[in-house]
Amino acid sequence: MQIIIVNGPLSEREQDACIRQITRKYPASAIDKLYLEVHEDYVDVHYTLHRYRELRKMGGYCISEPDTWNSAKRAELQEMLPNSFEEAEA
């Protein structure tokens, strides 16, 4: 997790309090960046979460996200028949 402090200094104790506040909602491993914007009386906390990639498996191999595929691979995905095992899970 990257911590970015804007508009002034923030003590370690204040940083820890902000981190505890946000990690109540999301685990620290899910947070990409934590923005702490310091004002006179308060601190605004903003964050961005890690983007989890959708991986597809085709032909027994894990391949990247469908939006990065060429047109032939996208057509293969459209024509692919679902596996009976995958239907049972859904």
Quote the pTM value.
0.52
Confidence of residue 53 (pLDDT cuts 50, 70, 90): low
Measuring CA to CA, which residue among 52, 43, 51, 50 is closest to residue 21? Answer: 43
| Per-residue pLDDT, 85 | 58
| pLDDT confidence band for 81 (50 / 70 / 90) | low
Region 57-64: mean pLDDT is: 63
For 28-52, what is the mean pLDDT? 85
Residue 82, pLDDT above cutoff 70: no
User: In which band, very low, low, confident or very high, does the pLDDT at 42 lie, cut at 50, 70 and 90?
Assistant: confident
Burial of 34: CB neighbours in 10 Å, binned 0-12, 13-18, 19+: buried
Non-local CB neighbours of 74 within 8 Å, separated by 6+ positions: 66
> How confident is the model over 26-38, as a mean pLDDT?
86
pLDDT of amino acid 52: 67
